[in-house]
Amino acid sequence: MAGQPYIYNGQGFSLQRDKNRFVLPNVFRGTVRESSGKDLVCLMPHDRWPCLMGFGLSRIADFEQELKEMQDVALRAGREFDAEKRASDIYSSYEVPFDGSGRFVLPDDLVALAEISDQLYFRGNGKFFTVWAPEQLYAMEDDWKAAKTACRSLAEKELAKARKK
């Protein structure tokens, strides 16, 4: 699994459904499945944004190199870098199973950390994807306009579908 670049591109939206489940969008599901070798997504809080990051198990093999690169960048910039603290953060991701339709339940800790209620917006970010509570995204700066617009549009479509049921 390690060595192959898995790229997360696209976006999606999910309303919370029965049994407190959300749905991992199809656009990410196959990549996560291939990267993990099974129906399991890794989720963790993002280190700078008020959202979660998602990725497949294979990305964990890249963490040591990423830590080294972060430390090198910090040293060149004259900043302190606590490699042990960052390692503690990234090696504490939650392994969340999903079913064949992409349904999964978010752990309560992640719900609280990302201030999630009953809606999720997913956005591709290359090596990972982000998972946002729409309210958190809408509170971001103006340079997030494209993401905010896409989230509103996808939310409207999903809410309209839900009202028809």
What average pLDDT does the segment 85-92 reach? 91
**Whether pLDDT at 23 is above 70:** yes
pLDDT of residue 2: 47
Highest mean pLDDT out of 58-62, 126-130, 160-164: 126-130
**Whether pLDDT at 27 is above 60:** yes
What average pLDDT does the segment 92-115 reach? 96
Residues whose CB falls within 8 Å of the CB of residue 55, separated by 6 or more in sequence, listed in order: 6, 8, 32, 35, 41, 42, 93, 127, 128, 129
In this prediction, residue 165 has a pLDDT band, given cuts at 50, 70 and 90, of confident
Residues whose CB falls within 8 Å of the CB of residue 31, separated by 6 or more in sequence, listed in order: 6, 7, 8, 56
pLDDT of residue 39: 97
Element (H, E) at 69: helix 63-76
CATH topology of domain 11-164: Chemotaxis protein chec (3.40.1550)
In this prediction, residue 5 has a pLDDT band, given cuts at 50, 70 and 90, of confident
Quote the CA–CA distance of 69 and 89 in Å, as a whole number.
Answer: 16
In this prediction, residue 111 has a pLDDT band, given cuts at 50, 70 and 90, of very high
In this prediction, residue 1 has a pLDDT band, given cuts at 50, 70 and 90, of very low
Q: What share of the chain is helix, strand, coil (3-state, %, to 5)?
A: 45, 20, 30
Residues whose CB falls within 8 Å of the CB of residue 9, separated by 6 or more in sequence, listed in order: 27, 124, 126
